[in-house]
Structure 1
Amino acid sequence: MIFLDAAATTPVRREVLEAMWPYLSGEFGNPSSHHTLGEAAAAALAEARSGVAKVFNCRAGEVTFTSGGTESDNLAVKGIALARQAADPALNRVVISAVEHPAVEESARYLERVHGFAVDIVPVDGEGLVTVDALRSVLKPETALVSIMYANNEIGTVQPIAELAAVAHAVGVPFHTDAVQAAGWCPLDVKALGIDALSISAHKLGAPKGSGALFTKGRLRLEPLIHGGGQERGKRSGTENMAGAVALSTAAVLAAAEQPAQAQRVVQLRDRFIDRVLDTVPDALLTGHRSQRLPSVASFCFPGTSGESVLLELERLGVVCSSGSACAAGSDAPSPVLLALGIAPETAQTAVRFSFTSTISEADLEAAAAAVETAVGRVKRLAAPQVG
């Protein structure tokens, strides 16, 4: 099997399993307990937090452990907007892009539905990019928060986050970015990016599912979503997932160290794969920006086919990939991300996404490209009207 669905999840790294194992066995203490076992757990949690903070280039106290990217996005969007509205009731608008993950979009819609916020959508161009002018045009004096993802999970387009954050800051608005897909492939230095909040998820980095982290700038007020024991400096109550925090920290540190070399290597393999597919599959349409995209994502529409049929053929040929976001699995509606790019609904329904781990080989991508040619050709032949 050639696994090309790393944007959905990644295999757990052995180093991560070894690091987290003690906290699934003998080191079972609660970090809030004031005895030897609890103190050992608290020390391990502090070390894990420091590891993530080094990757983010922030203070350890600015890192909040969560259950994953979805919770981190919810906490950022709802928590920042509600805290700012509490301080100034006039702040009742949030800005998101037209290609956000549902974790951000639905959080904004919750604010709209329950708390009376207005949601302003920044359009993207045909390659999925948000421009500085587009963002500037939707900002208003009542804007409480801007949330624009670092890199898109379906098409791979990477946004100019530092430039966009500067536009928001020029009018005094904090900026959050969903960096779940960017983690491991793009630098996460929050100072260089000039952002106020950033979300990541463990299972996109080679750690198990069920753990995530949120950076929030020290003085930025945050209304918690979960109340109780006041863990995570009051930002996220509940006994911490010790093994998950250690796993996330270990994976993030390893990925950050490997990122420059691995990104450069995989970009070359990705571009050869894209060229091969475009050369051998008639009418294939690359979606997203040609170069300003994640090293790990190549996404296409194959007009004249069914995306789901192509996926089934590819799996028969030993290639596992997806038709887009794993969070929309089972839906036959065209992707809102592709529609936002101006792609026709009937074409958007032919989408297939190939996403790679950092260890993907040239041989695997060559075999996958050949499988794509075969699979798309077979689906088109089966869909063609039968003569006679």
Structure 2
Amino acid sequence: MPRRSDPIYLDHNAGAPLRPVARESMIEVLSDAGNASSVHTDGRRARGRIESAREKVARLCSAQNRAVTFVSGGTEGNMMALTPVWQVQGAPVYLEKLFRSAVEHPSVVTGGRFAVANQCVVPVDSDGVIQIDALKDSVCDTEPSLISVMAANNETGVIQPLAEIGAIAQEYGHFFHVDAVQAAGRIKIDMDAWQADALTISAHKLGGPQGAGAVVVRSTAKTPSALMVGGGQENWRRGGTENVAAIAGFGIAADAALEETADLRHLLELKTRLEEGLQAHCPTTIFFGIKAERLANTCCFAVPGISAETALIALDLERVSISSGSACSSGKVSVSHVLTAMGVDEELARCALRISMGWDTTKTDIEEFLDVWPGIVDRLNPNARHKAA
């Protein structure tokens, strides 16, 4: 098989390519010298860039500008939100437990600032959707606690029933945090409909720079306690000099992502073509989360008998970049805790691959991947394409 001259990047859930408009904005900012906390002209210019980005990120999240706190990314954002101490009307409120689903991102699985003994895991069904009855049974007799559930799964793209979860949190007096890192720019964010008290997003999933993210609250009267202290930046919610260039790029990417969210037909068409092609080329292909509502950009699948690690190496030699699942495991290919929670057999889970598309994905990318894939399947498992599904 001839080597490709142009790479194909289909790993947007790990990190989207930087948008040219965001890059241009960042380069312009990098030529400035001002600290946003300074009162002189250069400082005010830096402050203006931050506030302009804050407005754009707030618009993406249907929130007020002052509800946005800039952080270094989704992991820090989740760590900040997952705290047993919240400020309500300026007074501390202490939460008893953390309830989270079994398929959360590793930064939530660690429990944030909650002690291990105070963390409770809620199971999911075979498609990776949280079991609402189990959640309700878990929280109905508990003192005020925090519920944390991702909007959409980073590996399968499965979207959670956030409005139902938010209603449960409201009914029993709990706080509700949404990890919206994979959802932002891919579905409409509606904190009011979800009744979410806080959510986290990350710039580099939207085509912004790595190293920038945000915690967004529905009301500034109800906020998680600061994780990083030592300065008055971000309205005393996150100490440390702001990364003005990254924040500016984040804002530009958020604006572009919001515009794309209004019409997802392009991504839906690409995913439909991809999954039909995968099934046609190899009838033994298994798709995960197929019965649930999923993001338009994400496809998680496996061909039994072809390990993810071997497939990734073969695809990389063809200059095709996809993933075996989450990119937040030190680059290691291991059994996905998400698929394990869904009841997927370990042997099959080791074969799971993820294709995720985004702002720069074209029909040609999908067609060329589908041209490459059958040859790889034939080399790695010659029988895979000829067995009955």
Shift of 1:281: 1.4
Task: Look up the match of 1:55.
Answer: 60
* Higher mean C-alpha deviation, range 168-177 or range 128-137: 128-137
Does residue 98 (structure 1) correspond to residue 99 (structure 2)? The answer is: no
Give the Å deviation of 1:151: 0.5
Distance 1:53 1:368 in 2: 36
Q: Quote how far apart the aligned CAs of 1:330 are.
A: 3.5
Who is 1:13 aligned against?
A: 19
Aligned residue for 1:22, secondary structure, equals helix
Map 1:200-219 onto structure 2 (within 5 A). Answer: 200-216=201-217, 217-219=219-221
Cα RMSD for the two superposed structures: 2.0
- The change in CA–CA distance for 1:143 and 1:95 in structure 2 (over 3 A counts) is farther
Residue 165 of structure 1 aligns with which residue? 166
Is 1:112 the counterpart of 2:141 in the alignment?
Answer: no
Distance 1:130 1:24 in 2: 44
- Residue type at the aligned position of 2:102: A
**1:127-166 correspondence to structure 2 within 5 Å:** 127-139=127-139, 140-166=141-167
Measured in 2, the distance between the counterparts of 1:302 and 1:143 equals: 45
**Hey, what's the Cα distance between the residues in 2 that align with 1:33 and 1:330?**
40
Query: Which residue is 2:223 aligned to?
Result: 221
- Kept in 2, the 8 Å contact 1:149–1:159? The answer is yes
- Stretch moving more, 55-64 or 286-295: 286-295
Corresponding residue of 2:350: 349
Name the amino acid aligned to 1:33. S
Distance 1:329 1:250 in 2: 29
Q: Which moved more, 1:183-192 or 1:204-213?
A: 183-192
1:19 deviates by 1.9
Maintained 8 Å contact 2:186/2:295? yes
**Percent identity of paired positions between Structure 1 and Structure 2:** 38
* Deviation by residue 1:81-120 (Cα, 9 ceiling, x = unmatched): 223799455x321100000001111134x5224xxx5211
Distance in 1 between residues matched to 2:233 and 2:180, nearest whole Å: 24
Amino acid across the alignment from 1:70: T
What CA distance in whole angstroms lies between the structure 1 residues aligned with 2:255 and 2:163?
A: 22
User: Which residue of structure 2 lines up, in the alignment, with residue 386 of structure 1?
Assistant: none
| Higher deviation after alignment, 14-23 or 148-157 | 14-23
Rounded to whole Å, the distance in 2 between the matches of 1:209 and 1:330 is 17
1:209 match: secondary structure: coil
> Per-residue deviation at 1:361?
1.7
Which structure carries more helix by proportion?
1
| Offset at residue 162 of structure 1 (A) | 1.7
CA distance in 2 between partners of 1:63 and 1:76 (Å): 13
- 1:237 and 1:329 map into 2 onto residues whose CA distance is 28
Match in the other structure for 2:235: 233
CA distance in structure 2 between the partners assigned to 1:58 and 1:48 by the alignment = 13
What is the Cα deviation at residue 318 of structure 1?
3.2
Structure 2 residue aligned with 1:124: 124
The whole-number CA distance in structure 2 between the counterparts of 1:20 and 1:381 is 48
Q: Alpha-carbon deviation of 1:290?
A: 4.1
> Which of residues 56, 77, 94 is equivalent to 2:82?
77
- Confirm or deny that 1:250 pairs with 2:252: yes
- SS of equivalent residue, structure 2 residue 111: helix
**Deviation by residue 1:25-44 (Cα, 9 ceiling, x = unmatched):** 0x221111121211222222
How far apart are the structure 1 equivalents of 2:333 and 2:245? Answer: 37
Shift, 1:134, TM fit: 2.8
User: Structure 1's 219 and 126: CA in aligned 2 closer, same or farther, altered over 3 A?
Assistant: same
**Number of the residue aligned with 2:378:** 377
- Per the alignment, in what secondary structure is the counterpart of residue 278 of structure 2? helix
SS at match of 1:237: coil
The 5 A counterparts of 1:285-296 are: 285-290=286-291, 292-296=293-297
1:296, distance to aligned residue in structure 2 (A): 0.9
Secondary structure of 1:247's partner? helix
Give the aligned residue type for 1:7. N
Distance between the aligned counterparts of 2:93 and 2:270, measured in 1?
A: 50
Counterpart residue type for residue 134 of structure 2: A
Contact 2:87/2:222 (8 A) holds in 1: no
Alignment of 1:173-188 (within 5 A): 173-188=174-189
Q: CA deviation at 1:202?
A: 0.6
Q: Which residue does 1:301 correspond to in 2?
A: 302
323-332 vs 239-248, which deviates more? Answer: 323-332
Unaligned residue ranges in structure 2 (runs of 5+): 1-6, 385-389
Structure 1 pair 332/52, CA: closer, same or farther in 2 (3 Å)?
A: closer
Residues 131-168 of structure 1 deviation map (CA, whole Å, 9 limit, x = unaligned):
43232121142241000000100111011212211111
User: Which residue does the alignment assign to 1:33?
Assistant: 38
Normalising by structure 1, report the TM-score. 0.91
Give, in whole Å, the separation in 2 of the partners of 1:239 and 1:250. 20
Instruction: Give the Cα separation in 1 of the matches to 2:331 and 2:291.
Output: 28
Q: Which residue matches 2:29?
A: 23
TM-score normalised to structure 2 length: 0.91
Query: Could you tell me how far apart the structure 2 residues matched to 1:56 and 1:137 are?
Result: 30
Query: Does the 8 A contact of 1:95 with 1:143 survive in 2?
Result: no
Structure 1 residues 246, 301: closer, same or farther in 2, change over 3 A?
same
